[in-house]
Amino acid sequence: MSRRTRLCAIRASSIRPPSMFCRRCGKLPPPAENPPLSHGAPFMHAIAGSDPIIVGAIAGHAGVIHSAPAPIAAAPQPLAGAPTVIASLPGMPLEQLRAKADAGDAPAQFELGVRFADGRAGSQDMALAAQYYAKAADQGLALAQYRLAVLSEKGVGGGRDLARAQSLYLAAAEQGNARAMHNLGVLAAEGVDGEPDYANAAAWFEKAAAFGIRDSQFNLAVLLARGSSLSHDAARSYTWFSIAAATGDQEAARKRDEMALKLSPTDLAAATAAASTFRPRRLDPAVNEISVSGNPAIASAPAALPTQRKASNL
């Protein structure tokens, strides 16, 4: 199941960390040491939702600086035919599946891990699930890398290992796994390496946001509103809150309306136009678990595990 919580402003994969917005009054604190927006600054009217992932998909005011992770273009290729093969495995008899997995077949190893995780292998055994996910992850299967990263981060099926989780999320994200991108943003915002790295968090949230991950859209909007390690940009913040609100997120709608009060009529019109033109990039089924509804912008959650976590210090 997916678990949602918010950071009185940053969401960890559906979770929000204590936050930027005050829970009592629901208002944004004024950004520290940020100059007021120049309403005459240029603002792009379109979001490249279907273009290659780039930081800065929504162009902001002059002077905005982005810090981005290594480009996804250099990522390893997903296993050829993996989604087709995996789709054929759920109905395979357990002993036949186990034989394929033990023979080194990565999709079979992944499917067997899923069955141990949800109890379809006779009983739920998260340790065995982790072992089979690890076998498939070692062969480069992004779906297994993501699920194993979640287990490692939470300490399920073995000891908690944030460094391993981060490495696995990175491997999956570099292949195009959108949830892994989001979770890397959360880890960066929470300071898994010591101090919070909001610029890196924003870069990963923007990558995931382009695929329609709502909590990444919300978190990115929060960071832009707050100006944490990147320039305060109320217009881009409004745009991302609007995009998240369009999916039915009521908290994002409230924050969008708050940000609207900070914009000139010209900037508000441009930011609204940008939100209206947003189209999420299509998820690659070879590296993302797609929901049964067929919505290409929403990835399904790993069995019995939360998909997103709270960036609790934002």
pLDDT tens for residues 275-305? 999 999 999 999 998 753 333 333 333 333 3
Q: How far is CA 45 from CA 36, 52, 58, 239, in A?
A: 21, 18, 8, 10
pLDDT value of position 11: 62
Query: How many angstroms separate the CA atoms of 137 and 143, rounded?
Result: 8
Q: How far is CA 108 from CA 117, 138, 168, in A?
A: 14, 13, 19
Q: For 3-29, what is the mean pLDDT?
A: 38
Helix axes 214-226, 178-190, angle to 10 degrees: 30
Query: How many angstroms separate the CA atoms of 140 and 133, rounded?
Result: 11
Range in 77-86, 143-152, 242-251 the model is least confident about: 77-86
Query: How many angstroms separate the CA atoms of 298 and 307, rounded?
Result: 11
Percent of the chain clearing pLDDT 70 (strictly above): 64
What does pTM read for this prediction? 0.73
Query: How many angstroms separate the CA atoms of 158 and 194, rounded?
Result: 23
In 3-state terms the chain splits into helix, strand, coil percentages (rounded to 5) of 45, 0, 55
Query: How many angstroms separate the CA atoms of 211 and 285, rounded?
Result: 13
Q: Indicate the SS3 state at residue 104.
A: coil
Q: For 144-155, what is the mean pLDDT?
A: 97
Q: Tell me the CATH number of domain 80-139+141-174, given options 1.25.40.10, 3.40.50.1820, 3.30.460.80, 3.40.1190.20.
A: 1.25.40.10
CB 143 within 8 A of CB 137: no
Q: How far is CA 68 from CA 185, 223, 300, in A?
A: 11, 15, 26
What is the residue extent of each domain of the chain? 1-19+196-314, 80-139+141-174
DSSP classification of residue 10: -
